[in-house]
C-alpha cells in the first residue's frame, strides 16, 4: 500500500497534477530546518553570554 501511494505521488509530481508540487517541499523543508537550527544557535549564544557575564545558566548539565 505504501509503495503504491508513493508511486502514485511520484507520478502526480511528474505530470504536475499533485496538490503540493515537489518544488514546494524542496523550498519549505530547508527553511524549517534553518529556523530550527537558528533557534538552537541563538539559545546557545544567549546562554553562553549570560554564563560569561553573570556566571549563571551556562551550558553545564542541569542535573
Ordered by start, the domain boundaries in the chain are 22-63
CA dist., res. 31 & res. 33, Å (int): 5
Give this prediction's pTM: 0.52
pLDDT digit string, tens, across residues 5-59: 667 777 787 777 777 776 777 778 888 999 999 999 998 888 888 888 887 766 6
Cell numbers standing for residue 58: 551556562
Quote the distance between the C-alpha of residue 31 and its chain's center: 7
Q: What angle do CA 17, 23, 27 make, to 5 degrees?
A: 145
**Taking 60 as the threshold, does the pLDDT of residue 62 lie above it?**
no
CA dist., res. 29 & res. 35, Å (int): 10
Amino acid at each position: 500500500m505504501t509503495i503504491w501511494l508513493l508511486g502514485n505521488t511520484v507520478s502526480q509530481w511528474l505530470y504536475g497534477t499533485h496538490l503540493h508540487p515537489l518544488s514546494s517541499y524542496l523550498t519549505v523543508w530547508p527553511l524549517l530546518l534553518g529556523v530550527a537550527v537558528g533557534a538552537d544557535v541563538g539559545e546557545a549564544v544567549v546562554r553562553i553570554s549570560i554564563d560569561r557575564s553573570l556566571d549563571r545558566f551556562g551550558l553545564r548539565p542541569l542535573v
